[in-house]
C-alpha cells in the first residue's frame, strides 16, 4: 500500500492543484481534510472536486463549537488584540485546524501533513508549529516553498496537463480567509497602503458605516465568568451569539478594520478585517471588566492580553507559555459576570449601561455627595505621601541650583 498524506483542503485552486502535485512528486495517496470553522457555503461541492483531482478520500470536519469554546472564548477572556486592532480571527483558527489534521493523520496512519500556505505568510508558521507540538514524528510538506509554480495561470495549466478540468479562472480577486469570527481581505488595491479600500467591492459580512441604517439598535449581552451566555435575554451557545452578532453588527457597519500589521516572518502587510460580532463581544467584555476588576489586576491583565495576542498570532497556541497565560486570565474571570447594553450606530458601539452583582463601583464613594466611606480630609495625607519622592527631588534640585 502507498503511504498517505493528509492535505489541509479548502477546495480553492491552490489546495486543489496540490493533489496531483503530491501524487506526482511523492507518490502518496492523498487524503483531503476540510476543517469547517464556520466558513459557510465555501464547503459546497468539495467532495466531487477533491476526488476529480485525484484524492482517495475527503473528510469534512465540523469543529465550529470546539473552535469557539476552546479557542475564541479564551481570547475574548484575555482581551487579546494584536497590535491594537486585529482580533486574531485567522490566528485563532489555525491551531484547531492543526489539531484536527493530526487527529485524522493518526486515524489514517498517514506519513505526512501538507498545507497550502505561502512562504511569505503567517499561516505556514501557525500550521507547522501546531503540528510539531502535537505530532513531532509527522513529516510536513509545504508546496509553495518548494515547487516552481508561481501564478494562478500556471496552476490552472498544471491541472489541464494532468487531465483535470476545474471551474477556476485566472481572474484577479482578493485573497480571503473566513470563519465564524471574521473574514480577512488582502490583495488588489489593498497592496498599496496609499489606496483607500473599495468597500463596495470588498465587504462580505456587512456594509460600510455610511451605508448603515440611520436608526441605531441596542443589544444586551450577558456573561458568566467571562463567557457570553445570552443575547437580548435569550440564553444561547457562544457560537450562536457570535453568529447573531455578526448579522446585527454587519448591518450597522461594525468591526471593519484597515491595518498594516507586522507579520511573523518580518514583513509588513496590509489587510482589511471584518469582525462585526467579535468587535461587539470584545467591547462588551471590556465594559464588564471595567466594572468588576480592581485597578491593579485590570492594569496587569492589559499587559497579559497583549502578550497573549502575540503568542497566538505567532502560532504558539500549544505551548507552556500560552497555557500559563490562560491560567492567569481564567483566574481573573471568576467574577466577570453581568449584563452589558450597547447601542450600534453607523460603525460605532455606544455604552448604554453595565450591571453586575460583583461590581466594585460604589455610588456612596464615587458620588460628589460626601458619604460615610470617604472623608475628603484623608486625601491630604495621601497626597503628601504619594508625592513625597517628587517633593524631595525638587528640593534637592533647588538646593543644587542655589
- In the set 29, 36, 123, 177, the catalytic residue is 123
Instruction: Report the distance separating Cα 179 and Cα 40, nearest Å.
Output: 8
DSSP code string of 183-230: EEEESGGGGSTTSPP-HHHH-SSS--GGGS-SS-EEEEEEEETTEEEE
With contact defined as beta carbons under 8 Å apart, do 291 and 338 qualify?
A: yes
The answer to whether 221 touches 249, Cβ cutoff 8 Å, is no
182 with 273: CB under 8 angstroms? yes
Instruction: Let me know if 393 is a catalytic residue.
Output: no
Write down the residue that cell numbers 475574548 correspond to.
76
> Taking phi first (over 0 means left), then psi (-120 to 50 degrees means alpha), and beta for anything else, what does residue 56 get?
alpha
Task: Give 271-324 as a DSSP string.
Answer: EEEE-HHHHHHHHHHHHHHHHHS-HHHHHHHHHHHHHHHHHHHTT--SSHHHHH
Catalytic annotation, pick one of 175, 208, 236, 269: 175
Task: Supply 18's cell numbers.
Answer: 496540490
Catalytic residue, candidates 10, 14, 53, 100: 14
Catalytic residue status for 123 = yes
Residues in the chain: 402
14 is catalytic: yes
Q: Which of 29, 91, 94, 126 is catalytic?
A: 94
Cβ(88)–Cβ(309) below 8 Å: yes
Known catalytic residues?
14, 94, 123, 175
Amino acid at each position: 500500500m502507498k503511504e498517505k498524506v493528509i492535505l489541509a483542503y479548502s477546495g480553492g485552486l491552490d489546495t486543489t492543484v496540490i493533489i496531483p502535485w503530491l501524487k506526482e512528486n511523492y507518490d502518496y495517496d492523498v487524503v483531503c481534510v476540510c476543517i469547517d470553522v464556520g466558513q459557510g457555503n465555501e464547503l459546497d461541492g468539495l467532495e466531487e472536486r477533491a476526488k476529480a483531482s485525484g484524492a482517495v478520500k475527503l473528510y469534512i470536519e465540523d469543529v465550529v463549537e470546539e473552535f469557539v469554546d476552546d479557542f475564541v472564548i479564551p481570547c475574548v477572556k484575555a482581551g487579546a488584540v494584536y497590535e491594537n486592532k486585529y482580533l486574531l480571527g485567522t490566528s485563532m483558527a489555525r491551531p484547531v485546524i492543526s489539531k484536527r489534521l493530526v487527529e485524522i493523520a493518526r486515524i489514517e496512519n498517514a506519513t505526512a501533513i501538507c498545507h497550502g500556505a505561502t512562504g511569505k505568510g503567517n499561516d505556514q508558521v501557525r500550521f507547522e508549529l501546531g503540528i510539531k507540538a502535537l505530532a513531532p514524528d509527522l513529516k510536513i510538506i509545504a508546496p509553495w516553498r518548494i515547487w516552481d509554480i508561481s501564478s494562478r495561470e500556471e496552476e490552472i495549466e498544471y491541472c489541464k496537463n494532468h487531465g483535470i478540468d476545474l471551474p477556476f479562472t485566472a481572474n484577479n480577486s482578493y485573497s480571503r480567509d473566513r470563519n465564524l469570527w471574521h473574514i480577512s481581505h488582502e490583495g488588489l488595491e489593498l497592496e498599496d497602503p496609499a489606496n483607500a479600500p473599495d468597500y463596495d467591492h470588498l465587504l462580505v459580512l456587512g456594509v460600510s458605516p455610511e451605508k448603515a441604517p440611520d436608526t441605531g439598535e441596542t443589544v444586551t449581552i450577558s456573561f458568566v465568568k467571562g463567557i457570553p451566555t445570552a443575547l437580548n435575554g435569550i440564553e444561547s451557545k457562544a457560537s450562536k451569539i457570535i453568529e447573531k452578532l455578526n448579522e446585527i453588527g454587519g448591518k450597522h457597519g461594525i468591526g471593519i478594520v484597515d491595518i498594516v500589521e507586522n507579520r511573523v516572518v518580518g514583513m509588513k502587510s496590509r489587510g482589511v478585517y471584518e469582525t462585526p460580532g467579535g468587535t461587539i463581544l470584545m467591547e462588551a467584555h471590556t465594559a464588564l471588566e471595567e466594572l468588576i476588576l480592581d485597578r491593579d489586576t485590570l492594569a496587569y491583565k492589559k499587559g497579559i492580553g497583549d502578550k497573549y495576542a502575540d503568542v497566538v498570532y505567532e502560532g504558539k497556541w500549544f505551548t507552556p507559555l500560552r497555557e500559563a497565560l490562560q491560567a492567569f486570565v481564567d483566574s481573573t474571570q471568576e467574577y466577570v459576570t453581568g449584563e452589558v447594553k450597547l447601542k450600534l450606530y453607523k460603525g460605532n458601539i455606544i455604552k448604554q449601561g453595565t450591571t453586575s452583582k460583583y461590581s466594585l463601583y460604589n455610588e456612596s464613594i464615587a458620588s460628589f455627595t460626601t458619604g460615610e466611606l470617604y472623608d475628603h480630609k484623608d486625601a491630604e495625607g495621601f497626597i503628601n505621601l504619594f508625592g513625597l519622592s517628587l517633593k524631595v527631588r525638587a528640593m534637592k534640585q533647588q538646593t543644587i541650583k542655589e
